Structure formats: C-alpha cells, structure tokens
Amino acid sequence: MKRTLWRRVGLVVAGLVLVVVVVAAVGLSDVDVPETSRFDADLGAIRALAVSTGAPLPTGLRSQHVGRASGVPQALVVAGSGFGEVAFDFNAYQVVYADARTVLVDFVSDEETQQAQFPGSEFDAAAYSRVQEALRRADATVVTHEHFDHCAGIAHSAYLDEVASKVHLTDEQLRSPLAQEAGFTAERRARLAPLQYERLHLLRPGVVLIKAPGHTPGTQLVYVRLVDGRELLLVGDVAWRQDNIRLPRMHPRLTNWLGDEDAQAMAHQLRWLHDLLRTAPELHPVVTHDGAQLQDYQRRGLIQEGLL
C-alpha cells in the first residue's frame, strides 16, 4: 500500500516538474521573426517627407542620461541569450536646429515613479532638472510610446501648463491605460491636444513620426535626418538591445505576455529594422535602453552628450 502511495506521489511530483519545465521553456522562447516583413513603412517616403518643406534641417541629435536600472535578467531582454544580467539606461533625446529650436524625444521618468518601478535604481536629479529645463525651451516634445520611463516626467512636470501646447502625445498614447499609469490623469490629459495622424507625420523639418503599434498601442518610431545627410531612427522599445535587431531576435514570450505586447507586430517590425541594416546601412537605429550603443554613437559623433 505504501509503495503504491509513494509511486503515485512520485508521479504527481514528476508531472508538476514536467509542467514547470514546459512552461519555462515556452515562456523563455521567442516568437519567430519572419523572413519577410509586413510592417508598412516605406523608407523612401519617409526620407522624402523629411525634406518636403525645403526648410533647414536639424544640425544634430543630443542625449541626456538620467538613470539606470541594473540587474535585469538578460534572458528576458533577448531570448536565448543566457542567464546573465543587463542594465537599462534611461535617456532623453534632443534634436537641435541651427536657430536654437529643439525637439525633445522621450522624456524619462520622475524619480518617485522610477523608484516605484525599479527600487534602488540610479537616478541623477541634476540631469533630470536639465531635461525639465529643456522641456520648457523645446519647440516640440514627443515620445516613442506611453510607458512611464518615456513620459512620466512630462505628466509630473511642474511646467505642464506652460508647455502643454508644445507636447504632442498621440491620440493612441493618451487613450492608453499605460499613460494613466505614467501619471496622465484625466485632468492632465485634458490639458493636451492629442496628435492624430494615419501612417507618417512630419513633426518638424527632418523629423518624421512613424506609427508602429505593438510594444504598446501608441508606439511610434522617430526618424531624424540631419543637415549633413546623417540619418537616425529612434526605435523606442521595439528593441531593448542592438542584438534584438542584429540577430534578429525578440525578447521571449514571457516578456510579451507580461507586457501585453502584440508580439507578431513587433516581430515584423524587427524584421524591417534588421533588413535596413543591409539595405540602408547609413541609417542608424537608436535603441533607447542600450547604454553600450549610445556610448559607441557618442564616440563616433553621431549623438552628442548633454542637452542644450
């Protein structure tokens, strides 16, 4: 009798272990990136729109590092990349024109919100103050998507009333529950006029917004063409590391599930970005949270450090 009981217990335990192994294996696997992308973005049309007004193009792209969250499991960032740890850098970007006009792209988070999401993470209060002052001077401000680490600093800004007319969050971003989580209450959203466009939008000369829902409903890419011909593409969180684009390989299904992402849409976007590495190597993707890439771009003079 005891032998039969223990045999049954052993089978139950073995079954539970098998379930855990299968769930872990599936969760850490990734949605396949297709061989051909269905992401509807014509680089030729984007380039033409960027210069369509004939107005002076921007002279440079700058960045401001504000914070860093360490200890993020690598396996949740790039599927199949091992069980090490990586850091997420939090940066704001500034497109600069010769006449001192600027466009801010992505805005990081206030310290309280960042610490609530990443307890113990690094936060540079002086750098954050510089971003806030840049917000006041900006001719326009946009975000790649509505997650807190890209826009909460706007929602909680003491200057929101002052800058509201120049903050261009899209209709999809403002309607998303994620914007509410970032601090955009109904009262704060009411201060902003939602930006509405179909596929492409010329924000300012040389700056084109490209709709790319998937990571969030309001995700968009930001194309920047400089007066000297250099091109950059801020991809937000479509990729968290260069390797997501280079391999190409997504983060795992578990991350898709936890983030409520449209994994299929993101897979097609990654294929499009990967193909551009070959067909348009002069176009430089900017992966927001990849500190190593940013340092490389700064060494090469593609992005300057610090905001004006």
Q: Are residues 20 and 66 in the same domain?
A: no
Q: Are residues 80 and 6 in the same domain?
A: no
pTM for this predicted structure: 0.92
Reduced to 3 states, what is the DSSP secondary structure of residue 157? Answer: coil
Cα separation of 116 and 254, whole Å?
22
Residue 166 has what DSSP assignment?
A: G
Q: Are residues 3 and 49 in the same domain?
A: no
Q: Where in the sequence is the domain holding 73, given as residue range(s)?
A: 33-305
Q: Are residues 190 and 131 in the same domain?
A: yes
Q: Are residues 19 and 157 in the same domain?
A: no
Q: Which two tokens stand for residue 307?
A: 């905001």
Q: Are residues 17 and 82 in the same domain?
A: no
| Cα 95-99-102 angle, rounded to 5 deg | 25
Q: For the chain, what is the mean pLDDT?
A: 92
Q: Are residues 23 and 82 in the same domain?
A: no
Q: Are residues 174 and 281 in the same domain?
A: yes
Q: Are residues 89 and 179 in the same domain?
A: yes
Residue 10 has pLDDT above 70, yes or no: no
pLDDT tens digits, one per residue of 260-293: 999 999 999 999 999 999 999 999 999 999 999 9
Residue 152 has pLDDT above 70, yes or no: yes
Q: Are residues 166 and 238 in the same domain?
A: yes
pLDDT at position 14, please?
43
Predicted confidence band at 3 (pLDDT cuts at 50, 70, 90)?
low
Predicted confidence band at 21 (pLDDT cuts at 50, 70, 90)?
very low
pLDDT at position 82, please?
86
pLDDT tens digits, one per residue of 166-203: 999 999 999 999 999 999 999 999 999 999 999 999 99
Q: Number of folded domains in the chain?
A: 2
Sign of the CA dihedral 115, 118, 120, 121? negative
Percent of the chain clearing pLDDT 90 (strictly above): 88
pLDDT at position 23, please?
37
Helices (H), the chain: 2-27, 43-50, 111-117, 125-137, 148-155, 160-163, 171-175, 177-181, 186-189, 242-246, 253-259, 263-279, 291-299
pLDDT at position 232, please?
98
Cα separation of 96 and 142, whole Å?
14
pLDDT at position 242, please?
97
Predicted confidence band at 121 (pLDDT cuts at 50, 70, 90)?
very high
pLDDT at position 151, please?
98
Q: Are residues 22 and 160 in the same domain?
A: no
CATH at 60: 3.60.15.10
pLDDT tens digits, one per residue of 198-243: 999 999 999 999 999 999 999 999 999 999 999 999 999 999 999 9
Predicted confidence band at 28 (pLDDT cuts at 50, 70, 90)?
low
pLDDT at position 81, please?
86
Q: Are residues 291 and 179 in the same domain?
A: yes
Predicted confidence band at 30 (pLDDT cuts at 50, 70, 90)?
confident
Q: Which two tokens stand for residue 270?
A: 């990654």
pLDDT tens digits, one per residue of 34-66: 999 999 999 999 999 999 999 999 999 999 999
Residue 147 has pLDDT above 80, yes or no: yes
pLDDT at position 1, please?
54
